[in-house]
């Protein structure tokens, strides 16, 4: 289960796949760090003094929403770039764009317009990176641990959130009021972005992208590199990939514009859209952005908000890591999602009821009821990290056929950014107007998404990306076991298969 799941081939292949999967997921770390840093920076007096604003609710809503809007546009449109230039180069270019945006934010302009511009530029890079990384990961990961590696996006997201919370807390209590107090937290985003962008220079391109581009020698080299072997199991997998690609080409007759409208693919697009919509409807991403504001409602104002927020981030990272390493390949996707949705709804309702039926905090001192509600929010966070947090990332990337995986994953991740934008824009106003009733609003959404998952989601755990064609009753479905057997026995000549793919591509 999880990290202990057996993977065919030598041990170094599994280790390499794990290292590669979590390294590519650094784009998730950037997403998390940026998500967590905003709420704390906005509470710093130094930031308010430098940018001279008074309407904190308006600034916080714009600061988060403009970047999310840019990320949505980039995630939705990046599939064309990824299709032409490959996953690796696209992510590297996205990191360059993100670094440019961060530099615009930290320069001492004392202008909110310049800071917003930096957020927009960084958003383009962040949206593109988070849209392509799950595809890259899914196309390289062994099927036995693909769920764990795909979920690494959420684990690294949680790590980014946790570190950002503690950095916010550290600069608020450890540094004097000056520009450095907010420039340091914002500028530190350059480090992981540079590591990811430069580190990909030494990695191989996606096996399935290379095969789709008819670069079979490079695809074989890439597969041998990531598996750490060139034995019968690797040959069988490579044959499965080539046969799957040939079947896709034959079934669609090369007419890509019609592929998305086929019932099987249309259904998959709706699932990718829905699962990321559900992730945002849980309310946990909004809570990550505005944790200090949420906890102020429960325990009152004061520096304790940032301390509780830091503990909240640490719990997020620990719980998500526990799920990914030990349970991600043991629990089925579908029941995990709908059961957790119902549990989170119950927790949010309890938080609201307790908050409304007990005395509120006085003189910045938390009451026992306030502490209890914080504990309930922490429990909700744990449930989220075992379900809706990590699972959408691998699910949206694994369900599509190779020929439209860029488009499908872009639709899913852009949905995440679109509703991230929507909820980040309205949540500050919801907190200001509704108070703890905001939790009940998200509880209703949790119940709705749990119901939809129960009715429509298909189970994919333990299946290769080629086997998805059978699960979704696609016209490109084929006998995967036969293809693997033939690959191991050498019954298909590689050269003959390449000619077949070339001919189908021409048609």
- DSSP per position, 6-65: --SS-HHHHHHHHHHHHHHTHHHHHHHHHHHHHHHHHT-HHHHHHHT---HHHHHHHHHH
| CB 67 within 8 Å of CB 120 | yes
Token pair of 64 as six digits: 């988060």
Residue 143 lies in a domain: yes
Q: What is the CATH number of the domain that holds 307?
A: 1.20.1250.20
Helices 56-85 and 87-106 sit at what angle, rounded to 10 degrees? 150
CA dihedral 438, 440, 442, 448 (to 10 degrees): -150
| CB 272 within 8 Å of CB 134 | no
Q: Check residue 361 and give its pLDDT.
A: 63
Residue 483 lies in a domain: no
Q: Measure the CA–CA gap between 399 and 407, rounded to whole angstroms.
A: 12
Token pair of 397 as six digits: 């990337």
Q: The domain containing residue 356 runs over which residues? A: 2-234+243-471
Domain count, the chain: 1
| CB 289 within 8 Å of CB 35 | yes
Q: Measure the CA–CA gap between 25 and 30, rounded to whole angstroms.
A: 9
Instruction: Mention every residue, 6+ apart, whose C-beta is less than 8 A from residue 113.
Output: none
Residue 488 lies in a domain: no
pTM (predicted TM-score):
0.79
Residue 498 lies in a domain: no
Residue 119 lies in a domain: yes
Q: Measure the CA–CA gap between 232 and 239, rounded to whole angstroms.
A: 10
Write out pLDDT tens, residues 307-361: 777 788 788 889 999 998 888 888 899 999 999 999 999 999 998 888 788 776 6
Residue 485 lies in a domain: no
Q: Which residues pair with 365 in a beta bridge?
A: 362
Angle, vertex CA 411, rays to CA 32 and CA 123, nearest 5: 40
Residue 501 lies in a domain: no
Lowest mean pLDDT among 122-136, 398-412, 483-497: 483-497
Residue carrying the six token digits 């090369």: 254
H/E run at residue 402: none
Write out pLDDT tens, residues 466-501: 788 888 877 767 666 776 677 766 644 444 444 444
- Rounded to the nearest integer, the mean pLDDT of the chain is 84
Q: Measure the CA–CA gap between 373 and 312, rounded to whole angstroms.
A: 13
Residue 149 lies in a domain: yes
- 402-428: average pLDDT: 83
């Amino acid at each position: 289960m999880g990290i202990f799941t057996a993977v065919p081939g030598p041990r170094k292949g599994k280790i390499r796949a794990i290292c590669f999967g979590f390294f590519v997921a650094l784009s998730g770390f950037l997403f998390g760090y940026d998500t967590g840093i905003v709420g704390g920076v906005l509470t710093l007096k130094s930031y308010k003094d430098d940018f001279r604003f008074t309407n904190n609710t308006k600034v916080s809503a714009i600061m988060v929403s403009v970047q999310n809007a840019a990320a949505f546009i980039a995630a939705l449109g990046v599939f064309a770039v990824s299709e032409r230039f490959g996953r690796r180069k696209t992510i590297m270019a996205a990191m360059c764009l993100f670094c440019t945006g961060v530099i615009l934010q930290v320069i001492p302009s004392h202008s909110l317009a310049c800071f917003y511009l930096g957020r927009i530029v960084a958003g383009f890079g962040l949206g593109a990176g988070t849209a392509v990384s799950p595809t890259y990961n899914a196309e390289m990961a062994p099927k036995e641990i693909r769920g764990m590696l795909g979920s690494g996006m959420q684990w690294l997201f949680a790590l980014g959130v946790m570190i950002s919370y503690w950095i916010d807390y550290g600069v608020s209590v450890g540094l004097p009021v000056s520009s450095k107090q907010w420039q340091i937290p914002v500028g530190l985003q350059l480090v992981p972005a540079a590591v990811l962008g430069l580190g990909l220079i030494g990695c191989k391109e996606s096996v399935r992208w290379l095969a789709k581009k008819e670069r079979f020698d490079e695809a074989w080299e890439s597969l041998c590199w990531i598996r750490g072997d060139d034995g019968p199991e690797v040959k069988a997998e490579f044959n499965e990939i080539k046969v799957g690609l040939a079947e896709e080409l034959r079934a669609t007759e090369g007419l890509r514009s019609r592929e998305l409208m086929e019932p099987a693919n249309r259904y998959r697009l709706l699932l990718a859209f829905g699962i990321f919509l559900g992730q945002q409807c849980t309310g946990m991403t909004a809570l990550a952005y505005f944790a200090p504001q949420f906890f102020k409602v429960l325990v009152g104002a004061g520096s304790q908000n940032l301390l509780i927020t830091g503990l909240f981030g640490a719990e997020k990272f620990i719980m998500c890591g526990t799920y990914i390493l030990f349970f991600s390949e043991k629990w089925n996707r579908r029941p995990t999602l709908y059961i957790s949705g119902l549990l989170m709804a119950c927790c949010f309702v309890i938080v609201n009821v307790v908050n409304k039926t007990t005395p509120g905090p006085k003189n910045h001192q938390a009451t026992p009821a306030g502490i209890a509600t914080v504990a309930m929010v922490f429990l909700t966070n744990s449930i989220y990290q075992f379900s809706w947090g990590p699972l959408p990332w691998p699910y949206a990337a694994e369900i599509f056929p190779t020929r439209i995986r860029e488009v499908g994953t872009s639709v899913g991740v852009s949905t995440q950014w679109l509703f991230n934008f929507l909820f980040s824009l309205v949540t500050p106003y919801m907190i200001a107007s509704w108070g703890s009733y905001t939790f009940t609003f998200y509880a209703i959404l949790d119940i709705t998404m749990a119901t939809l998952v129960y009715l429509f989601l298909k189970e994919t755990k333990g299946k290769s990306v080629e086997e998805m064609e059978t699960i979704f009753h696609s016209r490109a479905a084929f006998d995967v076991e036969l293809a693997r057997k033939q690959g191991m026995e050498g019954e298909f000549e590689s050269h003959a298969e390449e000619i077949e793919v070339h001919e189908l591509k021409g048609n």
